[in-house]
Amino acid sequence: MSSPGQRPGSASPAELHAMRRAARLAATALGSTSPNPVVGCVLLGEDGAPVAEGHHLGAGHPHAEVEALKAAGPSARGATAVVTLEPCAHQGRTGPCADALLEAGVTRVVYAVDDPTPEGTGGAERLRRAGVQVAGGVLRELGEHVNELWLTAVRRRRPCVTWKFGSTLDGRTAAADGSSRWITGAAARQDAHELRAAHDAVLVGTGTLRADDPHLGLRHDVPGTPPLRVVVDRTGGIDPGARVLDDAAPTLLVVAEDAHRPRLPHGHEVLALPADGHGIDVAALLDELYRRGLRSVLLEGGARLASAFVARGLLDRVVAYLAPMLLGSRGRPVLEDFGVKNLAEGRRFETGEVRRVGEDIRLVLRAPHGPAAGPR
Ligand SMILES: Nc1nc(O)c(N)c(N[C@@H]2O[C@H](COP(=O)(O)O)[C@@H](O)[C@H]2O)n1
């Protein structure tokens, strides 16, 4: 295994090209693989030309390397495997990829990111000991990027939390009268649906539920598995006719331990968690979601719930759609007070990707790297 400080192994132009292809393959399964990562693999023949490729479809399915080996058949002998994550060395739901690569006669393995899990790690070392040439850390940033949600989750032992919002440039999500349709344009809203499809769960509080009656499903033109809909409703007072209780996807209704537990239509569930005067214990909620195998959560509001996550330092990423519009201080703010009294207490993020989506600006921010974050 290459250690975080180790220089990445060198790779040929054909291998770098194959790694980019493997990352694109991996990304096609975002939102469908948890608790497993997204992984892509390309096999190159001795002349450097691709002979087969594969990607991981989800837990219980063969790993990316095994998919590619199956597609290659006997052509795998003498091939180079280019894979976005270190081949695993363990017997989980499926067998160890390192052994499958050895049995198929692969002679070189190039991978981007070390597997950070105690179960999965060790494949690179096993391959090296068996005489296979191994180069780790190749296009590591790309491998980190495509698997950002899973890597953040397994390093922090809780789902990766992305807070998504659409607001005016002055941080308002509705006007004083509550009108909010639409602040951002159609392109930003379409993009937000694609973001939803890449996550395992979408999370809102009751304020948003009452104000917008959101459905939280996927639009018919967005491919992917609908995420679990999670509604934090401290008192359990959800309207039985709420759109989120239809059968498009399961809904988890999170209530306080001492609250009324409503009967929900078949397929939905009530989860009781500790709460205090500020609301449900959101760290306990993340622990429970992680325990259930969810690795990514898209927090879609409202201001109160988002403030609870900010206050607890539980945001990993922010995806903001900023509309070229101003509503002034009578508009509804994107966040409530979360206890900041002076500039030094303000929460800072690192600026990531910035791009224009229709008339709006899409901004990705990341929490500064803590000790659990991976190498950069
Ligand atoms: N290298 C690699 N390729 C894949 O396609 C993978 N899905 C993984 N996953 C690693 O193995 C663990 C899951 O194993 P099972 O699917 O249960 O057999 C997962 O936690 C990763 O460490 N690795």
Using the mean position of ligand 1's atoms as its centre, give its distance from the Cα of residue 95 in Å.
9
What is the predicted pLDDT for the residue at 210? 87
The residues lining ligand 1, judged by C-beta closer than 6 Å to any ligand atom, are 36-37, 39, 56, 59, 63-65, 85, 87-88, 92-94, 97, 115, 117, 119-120
Q: What token pair was written down for 58?
A: 């989800």
**Mutation test residue for ligand 1: of 88, 93, 155, 157, the one with most atoms within 8 Å of CB:** 88
Which residue's CA lies nearest to atom 21 of ligand 1?
120
Closest CA to 333 of 180, 113, 123: 180
What is the predicted pLDDT for the residue at 326? 98
Residue-range domains of the chain with CATH: 13-146 (3.40.140.10), 158-366 (3.40.430.10)
Which residue's CA lies nearest to atom 22 of ligand 1?
120
What is the predicted pLDDT for the residue at 3? 43
What is the predicted pLDDT for the residue at 8? 63
- What does the pLDDT look like over 206-260, one tens digit per residue? 988 888 899 999 887 887 789 999 999 999 889 999 999 999 999 999 999 999 8
Using the mean position of ligand 1's atoms as its centre, give its distance from the Cα of residue 313 in Å.
29
What's the complex ipTM? 0.92
- What does the pLDDT look like over 14-50, one tens digit per residue? 999 999 999 999 999 999 999 999 999 999 999 999 9
Given 65, 86, 288, 300, the catalytic residue: 65
Using the mean position of ligand 1's atoms as its centre, give its distance from the Cα of residue 2 in Å.
18
Where residue 375 falls among pLDDT bands split at 50, 70, 90? very low
- Average pLDDT of the segment spanning 178-197: 95
How far, CA to CA in Å, does 289 sit from each of 281, 296, 305? 13, 9, 16
User: 374 pLDDT exceeds 50?
Assistant: no
- Average pLDDT of the segment spanning 67-79: 97
What is the predicted pLDDT for the residue at 25? 98
Q: Name the average pLDDT for the chain.
A: 93
Which residue's CA lies nearest to atom 12 of ligand 1?
120
User: 372 pLDDT exceeds 60?
Assistant: no
Q: Catalytic residue at 125?
A: no
User: 295 pLDDT exceeds 70?
Assistant: yes
Where residue 373 falls among pLDDT bands split at 50, 70, 90? very low
* Cα 374 to chain centroid, rounded: 15
Which ligand 1 atom sits closest to the C-alpha of 59?
A: 16
- What does the pLDDT look like over 334-348, one tens digit per residue? 999 999 999 999 999
Kindly report whether the global pTM for this prediction surpasses the value 0.90: yes
What is the predicted pLDDT for the residue at 370? 58
